[in-house]
Amino acid sequence: MAMIIELDVMLAKRKMKLNDLAEQVGITAQNLSVLKSGRAKAIRFSTLEAICKTLNCQPGDILIYQSDDEIS
């Protein structure tokens, strides 16, 4: 998929664990792991807002668009 989730990069920058983020955002670690691994089909604005608030970042820091040509 052309959308790349760079949640792990942001987590590393903030020195935060996935479980802690899940707890603060209010979703399960399992769901957050689905999001991190790129298996998610969509992300709710509310989830995105909570993640950005917790990590103190912009949506563009987590979601990156890469065209299929670039990937191949």
What residues line the site for other proteins (CB under 8 A)?
27, 31-32, 34-35, 39-44, 47
Amino acid letter, 59 = P
Q: How many CB atoms lie within 10 A of CB 10?
A: 19
> At its nearest, how many Å lie between other proteins and the CB of residue 58?
18
> At its nearest, how many Å lie between other proteins and the CB of residue 59?
14
- Beta-sheet pairing, 3-5 with 63-65: antiparallel
> At its nearest, how many Å lie between other proteins and the CB of residue 46?
10
Q: How many CB atoms lie within 10 A of CB 24?
A: 14
Rg (CA), the chain: 12
- 31/66 with CB nearer other proteins: 31
- 42/70 with CB nearer other proteins: 42
